[in-house]
């Protein structure tokens, strides 16, 4: 099941052929009833579920259980700093979607709801950019049956086109996946920000490729509050970060396709996606434009470039009316979440190395303490096969390679 590196996502053991774990089912149902007293005692429901598992190997969540379970999965996501809002998660139940076309329609709808681009005539653009946290839950795995999935790691990401000299135009992290898409017949526009197609694989219909419509892809061109030249860099980023390849597990039931999104924290874009040496690697470019002395590390040119890049991200999203948050505000809100949870008698599972932002760590309050490290379910998990499909667009160790 792989050896997780220290920044890898926790991997739990999952046997797709095994029946639902009764203990997990019971634990979840008790928690759901305990935390929602209006649902009454769990007794009758647990008896019914136990019988259903005995007869079929699994059970079906009610819409209310599904909704609360998905919220708990967010509440338990140790790496997420934005969990204060866990109760506000908008849960879309698409368990009945089967064909790649139905699934793709659900994915497009997800992005429209999340980005506020689901506008109807007469109500134009009123919500555009007011990002809403959404999870869309597709069919659960049934013991011994295969189920649909999406290969992409996020619903929206930019391609990385490898040039003959080995350099990459676009996002180098996506270079292998992009090359596979090209083998499958896809051709991007050839810019540094080509939105990748989605690959939907379903048991009966195989592998299908879809291009996202413009209505689903809200983007923000980047400018700087003071430096006019910043616009000339021709940078942009998308509004909705929607993880597409993690398995949602609730009460022993596994949902391999359950894309979810929040809104961005600026540092994800300005201190990682655009800044990492293995991503868009823009610090030398920004430093040169700023006229900084890059001949010595002690001038802290990287740090100064980082700050201006991050200012540009926050400024541009705000100006475009696209919801975003900064790391100072979000760190304070996270500690508010921890305090609220403790008041409710619960500990907050958290991973320090993910909660502390990638710039100005100690200038935020989340730096100065330790956290309860625990893997609690419901949760989201990244399976090794899903990780490899997202990295390269294929699964080499598969017993029946596709090509
Ligand atoms: N860090 C990832 C990215 O930059 C997105 C992860 C989820 N982020 C979020 N704010 N919900 O694309």
Which tens digit of pLDDT belongs to each residue from 257-309?
A: 999 999 999 999 999 999 999 999 999 999 999 999 999 999 999 999 999 99
Q: Is the pLDDT of residue 126 over 80?
A: no
Query: Separation of 80 CA from ligand 1 center, angstroms?
Result: 9
Which pLDDT band holds residue 371 (cuts at 50, 70, 90)?
A: very high
187 contact partners, CB below 8 Å, separation of at least 6: none
For 134, the 3-state DSSP assignment is strand
Distance CA 33, CA 42 (A): 6
Cα gap 144→140, rounded to integer Å: 12
Residues of 322-338 as b/e, b for ≥16 C-beta within 10 angstroms?
Answer: bbbbbbeebbebbbebb
Residue whose Cα lies nearest atom 7 of ligand 1: it is 241
- pTM for the whole thing? 0.95
Rounded to an integer, the average pLDDT of 169-174 is 98
How much is the pLDDT for 267? 99
Kindly report whether the peptide bond that precedes residue 378 is cis, defined as omega within 30 degrees of 0: yes
Q: What is the dihedral of CA 224, 227, 228, 233, to 10 degrees?
A: -70
Q: What is the pLDDT of residues 205-252, one digit of tens each?
A: 999 999 999 999 999 999 999 999 999 999 999 999 999 999 999 999
Secondary structure (3-state) at 206: strand
Tell me, using a 6 A CB cutoff, whether residue 262 lines ligand 1: yes
**Residue 125's pLDDT band (cuts 50, 70, 90):** low
Tokens 């655009």: give the residue. 274
Q: Which of 5, 4, 22, 27 is nearest to 13 (CA)?
A: 4
Give the mutation target among 264, 333, 358 for probing the ligand 1 site: most ligand atoms within 8 A of CB.
264
Q: Buried b / exposed e across 43-74, counting CB within 10 Å, b at 16+? A: eebbeebeeebeeeebbebeeebbbbbbbbbb
Q: Where are the beta strands (DSSP E) in 272-315?
A: none
Can you tell me the distance from the alpha carbon of 73 to that of 66, in angstroms, rounded to the nearest whole number? 10
Largest Cα separation within the chain, whole Å, is 71
What is the spatial distance between Cα 335 and Cα 84, in angstroms, rounded to a whole number?
9
Q: How many other C-beta atoms are found inside a 10 Å radius of the C-beta of residue 281?
A: 13
Ligand 1 close to Cβ of residue 357 (< 6 A): no
Indicate the class that CATH gives domain 4-20+57-392. Answer: alpha beta
Residue 167 has pLDDT above 60, yes or no: yes
Pocket test residue of 81, 83, 132, 241 for ligand 1, highest count of atoms within 8 A of CB? 241
Give the Cα separation of 104 and 102 in Å (integer): 5
Terminal alpha carbon distance of the chain = 24
β-strands 260-261, 242-243: how paired? Answer: antiparallel
Which ranges of 21-120 would DSSP assign to H, the alpha helix? Answer: 22-35, 43-56, 63-75, 100-115
Instruction: Report the DSSP beta bridge partners of residue 169.
Output: 161
CA geometry: angle 104, 106, 109, nearest 5 deg: 110
Cα gap 161→215, rounded to integer Å: 24
Q: Write down the pLDDT at residue 124.
A: 65
Q: How many CB atoms lie within 10 A of CB 367?
A: 14
Does pLDDT of 401 surpass 60? Answer: no
Q: Cα of 264 to ligand 1 centre, how many Å? A: 6
Residues 192-201: b if buried by 16+ CB within 10 A, e if exposed: bbbbbbbbbb
Helix axes 175-183, 384-392, angle to 10 degrees: 70
The minimum-distance atom of ligand 1 relative to the CA of 268 is 4
Give the Cα separation of 115 and 192 in Å (integer): 22
Q: What is the pLDDT of residue 396?
A: 55
Rg of the Cα trace of the chain?
A: 22
d(CA 380, ligand 1 centre) in Å: 14
């Amino acid at each position: 099941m792989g050896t997780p590196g220290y920044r890898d996502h926790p991997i739990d053991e999952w046997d797709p052929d095994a029946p639902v774990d009764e203990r997990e089912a019971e634990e979840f149902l008790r928690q759901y009833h305990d935390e929602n007293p209006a649902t009454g005692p769990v007794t009758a429901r647990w008896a019914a579920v136990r019988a259903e598992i005995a007869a079929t190997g699994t059970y079906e969540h009610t819409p209310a259980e599904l909704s609360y379970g998905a919220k708990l999965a967010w509440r338990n996501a140790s790496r997420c700093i934005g969990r204060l809002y866990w109760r506000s998660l908008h849960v879309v139940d698409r368990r009945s979607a089967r064909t790649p076309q139905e699934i793709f329609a659900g994915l497009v709808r997800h992005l429209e709801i999340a980005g506020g681009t689901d506008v109807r005539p007469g109500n134009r653009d009123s919500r555009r950019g007011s990002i809403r946290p959404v999870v869309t839950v597709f069919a659960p795995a049934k013991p011994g049956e295969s189920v649909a999935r999406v290969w992409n790691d996020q619903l929206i990401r930019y391609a990385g086109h490898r040039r003959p000299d080995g350099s990459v135009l676009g996002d180098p992290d996506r270079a292998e996946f992009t090359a596979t898409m090209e083998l499958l017949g896809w051709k991007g526009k050839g810019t540094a920000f080509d939105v990748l197609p989605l690959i939907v694989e379903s048991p009966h219909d195989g592998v299908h490729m879809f291009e996202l419509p413009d209505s689903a892809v809200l983007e923000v061109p980047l400018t700087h509050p003071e430096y006019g030249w910043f616009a000339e860099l021709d940078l942009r980023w998308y509004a909705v970060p929607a993880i597409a390849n993690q398995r949602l597990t609730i009460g022993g039931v596994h949902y391999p396709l359950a894309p979810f999104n929040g809104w961005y924290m600026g540092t994800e874009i300005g201190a990682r996606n655009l800044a990492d040496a293995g991503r868009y690697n823009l610090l030398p470019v920004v430093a040169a434009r700023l006229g900084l002395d890059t001949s010595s590390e002690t001038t802290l040119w990287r740090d100064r470039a980082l700050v201006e890049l991050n200012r540009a991200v926050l400024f541009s999203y705000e100006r475009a009316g696209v919801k975003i948050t900064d790391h100072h505000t979000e760190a304070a809100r996270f500690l508010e979440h921890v305090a609220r949870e403790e008041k409710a008698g619960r500990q907050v599972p958290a991973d320090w190395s993910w909660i502390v932002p990638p710039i100005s760590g100690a200038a935020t309050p989340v730096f100065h303490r330790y956290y309860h490290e625990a893997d609690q379910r419901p949760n989201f998990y990244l399976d090794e096969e899903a990780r490899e499909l997202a990295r390269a667009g294929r699964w080499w160790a598969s017993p029946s390679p596709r090509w």
